[in-house]
Amino acid sequence: MSGDNSHNVESVKNSFINRKDYKELVGPSGRAIIGTFTPTHTAPDLSCFSCGKTMASNALRMCVDCISTNVDITENTQKEGVITFCKDCNRILVPPNQWVLAERESRELLALLLKRLDLGDHNLRISDAQFLWTEPHSRRTKLRVSVRKQEGEIDLEQKFDVEYFETTQQCPQCAKSHTHNKWVANVQIRQHVPHKRTILAMEQLMLKHGINKSISSIEESREGLDLHFAFIQDAKKTIQFLQAHAPVKVTKSSQLISSDTHSGKSTYKFTFSVELAPLCRGDIVVLPKSLHHKKSSSSRLLLCYKINSNLHFLDTNSCSTTMITSREYWNEPFQALIPHRNFQFSEFLVLYVEPTGVVEQNFVLADVSICKMDDMSEEILIRTHLGGILREGDTAVGVDLRTAQFNNSDWDELSEDSIPPVILLHKSYPDKQKKKKQFFKRIIADSNGESINYEKNDYDEFLDAMDAEEVI
C-alpha cells in the first residue's frame, strides 16, 4: 500500500517538474496536496489606431495626445449665459428673486457664476476659473474655466470659455425707492452734543462692518443721521450693532400705511429713535452723588477714557477705574463738564516726571511738574495718568480748573480740596498734522449723489483720533 502512494507522488512530481507554481505538501498519511494555479494577466502593448504610437492598452485604444486632441469633454457644457444687474445699486439677480451685491470681476461674482454653470456631465469637476478681459462698454463678461474628467485610467483636463451677456433690471428695493413708500423702517441716530465726532466715527464703523450695504438711503440732520431700510430685519440688525458699540436708548413707533379688510393684512412704517449718550472719549464728568456712592469710586471728578457698550471712567489722581453700564447711565444720565464747542483748552510744558509706581491697564500714575506755554513763570505740581508717555520737554493738552467756569450743578457741589488744579487730557504732538494725511470713505450723500461735507472743525477733530473706535 505504501508503495502505491510513493508511486503516485513520484508521478505527480514528474508531470509538474517544469512548473514554477508547483507546491507539494506531504501530510502524515503520505498523501500529496497540490496548490491551485492562478495566471497573471498583463495588459498588452498596442498601437494607437490614430497615430500608430506604441502605448499601453486602454478602453479608448488611443494615446494620451490623441485623446486630448480628438475627445472633447466640454462638448455638453454651457458656453453662454445671462447676468442681470440693477442699474441703481449694481446688485446681481440670483434666480428666482434674490439680489446679491457683487462687484464686476470680484470673487463673489465668480462664485455665483460657477455655481450656476451647467457642466452637462456629473463626472466633470472644475479645477480652475478666471475672468477674461473685455471692453468696459461691451456689456460682456467672459470666463475661462478648466475642467477635469476621468476617462478610463487617463485623467483629462481641458479649458473652455463662457460668455455672459449683461442685462439690466431694477430690483424691488430700488423700484420702491421711487415711490412714496420707499422705506419700511427708519433708524434715527441722534446725539445731543455740539460736535459730530461720534457720528463720523459711527459712519466709519458701519463701513468697516458692512452695515451700509443694507441701507436704502441716508439723510443728515443737525444732530445725527436718518437711516432708511427696505426691511425691518435690517433695521433691527443695525440697532443691535449700535448697542454693541455705544450706550444707546431705543424708542420704537409705528404708523399704519394701508390695511386690507378682506385678507386682514396691514402695512406699517416703523421708526426707531436711537439716542447716543452725550459723552465722548476725553470728556471730563462729575458723577451724581447717588451713582458715586453706588459705584464706590474714589472721586466724583472723572475722565472718560473709553466707550463701547459701557462707559469707562478714570480718576487721574489715583488711576482707579469705574465702569457704568448703559442701563445705569440712562437711569440717571449726566452731561459732560465741558459741553461748549468753543472751549479753549490749554497747552502745558512738562518740566519733569516722577512715576509713583501705580499702573492700571495702560496708565502709569506720575507726579508731574508743568507750566503753561503762555505763562512759564508759574510752576504747577499735579498727578496724571500719562506718566508712561510723558517726558521732560514734552507738551500736553489739558484743562486749567483753577480759572474755568462751568454751568453744572454737580460741579458746584464739589469741595475745593477734591478739585486738582489741572487735568491733562493727552500728549501733544506738534508734527502730527504734517504726518497724518488720511482719507475716509463716506456713505452719506445728498439727493444729487454728492457727498455731504461737515464743518471743517468737526472733521479736523475727528482726524485727531487715528482709530474710529477710540473717538467714540
User: How wide is the angle at C-alpha 195 spanned by C-alphas 192 and 199, nearest 5°?
Assistant: 75
User: What does the block give as the cell for 412?
Assistant: 458746584
When comparing pLDDT for 396 and 220, which is higher?
A: 396
The yes-or-no verdict on residue 77 having pLDDT over 50 is yes
Sign, Cα dihedral of 178, 181, 183, 189 = positive
Residue-wise pLDDT tens digits, 148-171: 887 766 778 888 999 999 999 888
Q: Which residue's C-alpha cell is 506738534?
A: 430
Q: At what angle do helices 232-245 and 197-208 cross, to 10 degrees?
A: 120
Q: What local confidence, expressed as pLDDT, does residue 434 receive?
A: 43
How far is the C-alpha of 13 from the C-alpha of 36, rounded, in Å? Answer: 15
For residue 378, what pLDDT is reported? Answer: 87
Confidence class for position 21, pLDDT limits 50, 70, 90: very low
**Domain residue spans in the chain?**
2-33, 72-168, 180-276, 297-434
Q: Whole-number mean pLDDT of the chain?
A: 80
8 pLDDT more than 60: no
Task: Write out 132-150 in H/E/C secondary structure.
Answer: ECCCHHHCEEEEEEEEEEE
Please list, in sequence order, all residues whose beta carbon lies within 8 angstroms of the beta carbon of residue 166, skipping any fewer than 6 positions away: 82, 83, 84, 85, 139, 140, 141
Residues in CB range of 300: below 8 A, 6 or more apart: 286, 287, 289, 292, 410, 414, 418
Predicted model pTM:
0.63
Cell of 120: 452637462
Which range among 30-44, 105-119, 447-461 has the greatest average pLDDT? 105-119
- Polymer length of the chain: 472
Q: Using pLDDT thresholds of 50, 70 and 90, give the confidence band for residue 31.
A: low
pLDDT at residue 447, rounded to an integer: 36
> DSSP assignment, residue 416?
G
Percent of all residues in the chain with a pLDDT value above 90, rounded to a whole number: 29
